[in-house]
Structure 1
Amino acid sequence: IDLIEEISKILNFKYIIVIGNQGTGTQRSGRWTGLIGDILSERADLIVTDATVTFERLHVVEFTHPIMHTGITILFQKPMATPPKLFYFARPFSAGIWVAIVVAFVTVSISLFIVGRICNSEWQKLNVTSNYSISQLTFPNTVWFVAGSLLRQNTRVKIRSIPGRIIAATWWLLCLVVIAMYIAALICYREEDFDMLFSDVKSLVKNAKEHDIKYGAKKDG
C-alpha cells in the first residue's frame, strides 16, 4: 500500500484497491487466473504483489525493477537431539583409552604412596617436642589427590619431595591433555546426535522416499 501510494503521488493519479483472492495466477487451458488474469482481462491496471518472475509470466506481463531480492529457502522442522543413554559420558573415548586412564590413575596413586614412604622430606613431626612423624601421602590421600587433579579440584594434599612433585606435575599435564581431548570429543558427539535427514536440495530429493519426507512449494509463486 505504501508503494502504490508513493507512485500515485509522483504520477498524480488516483487508484482503487481491489484485493485478489486467487493468488498471483497460473495458466490453465490457455487462460490466466489470479492477478495476472485480472491484468490481461483489463480488470486491473497494476498489481502490487510478491510475484515470482517465471518464464511464462514474462511473456504476458511486464515486471518492474524488483524492490527486494529474496533467495529460495527450504523450511523444515528443527532437528531434535536424541536422548542421552546411560553411559553417554563414556562415548568420547574408546574402551582402550578408558583402561589406560584407570591404569595411569592406579600407577600414579601407588607411586606417590611409595614416595611418601621412602622420602624423608615427606615426613613431618607432629610438633617440636614430639618424636613421632607423619606423612600426608597415605594411600587414601594419594588416591584423593590423583582423583582431585583429574577432576580439577583442590585436595589440600601437600607434596614436599622433589620426586613427588615431578610425578604430580606429570599427572597434572596428563590430566590437562585428557580433559581437553574429552571436551572436544564430547562436543563432536553432541553435534552428531542431531538427526539431519538432508543438507541440500539433492539430498532432500534423494532421501524423500526413504524417510517419508513430504515437501511442497508456495502455490502460484
Structure 2
Amino acid sequence: MSRILVVEDESAIAELISINLRHAGFEVTLAASATQAQYEVDRVLPDLVVLDWMLPGQSGVALARQWRGAARTKELPIIMLTARAEEGDKIAGLDAGADDYVTKPFSTNELLARIRAVLRRKAPEALDSAVEVGPLLLDPGTRRVSRDGTEVKLGPTEFRLLHFLMTHPERVHSRSQLLDRVWGDHVFIEERTIDVHVKRLREALERVQCARMIETVRGAGYRLTQHSSALSA
C-alpha cells in the first residue's frame, strides 16, 4: 500500500482528497502547513506528496525546493496542487522540483490518474544494465551518472530522461514520444514539461562539460549525440 502525504490547508479539499485516496487503496496522512508537512516527512518518508502551492508560512514551492535539496528527500515524488493556471506558474512549480502539476478545480479521477502515473514512473530500474555513450556512464542499479569518475547529480525525472536518451543515442525524439516513453502515461502532462526537464538536465551535465550532448532539433524534438563537436574536454 502506497503512503501519500496530502499537504493542503483548506480542510474541505484535504478531506475530499483523503476520502478518495483511501477508497482507492492508499494510506493517507494530512498536513495543513509546511511545518506540519516537514514533521510528517521527517517521521515517515511517504511514497508521494500532493502539495498545495499556497500554504500558511512557507509556500509549497519553497518546500518542494527544500526537499529537492536534501539527500533523504531529493527523489520524493511531488504533485503540485494549485489554483494558479498560468504557464509561468506551472513552469515555476516544475522548476522547484514538482513531478507533475494539477490545477484547481480538478476531478478526483484526474488526480488519482496522475498519482498512479507518477508512482509507476518511480518504479525501480535496478535490473537494467549500465549504459555508456561517449564519456557519460549511467548505472540504473546505483542511479548514478558520471564522466571520468566525476558524478553528475540528477533528479529522478532527469535521470529517467537521460537513461532513455542514452539507450537510444543519435535518434531524434519528439516531445510527445518522450512523454510516452519516459513519463509513461502522458494524458495529463503538457509537452512544455519536457523543455523544463531538458533545461535542468543540461544544467546538470554542464558541470562535466556534456550539456551539448543533448541537442535540440528544430521542429522535431531532442536527441543525444556523442559526436566530438558536442563535447568539451
Larger radius of gyration between Structure 1 and Structure 2: 1
Q: Structure 2-normalised TM-score?
A: 0.22
Q: Structure 1-normalised TM-score?
A: 0.23
Which structure has more RCO (C-alpha within 8 Å, separation ≥ 6)?
Answer: 1
Higher helix proportion, which one?
1
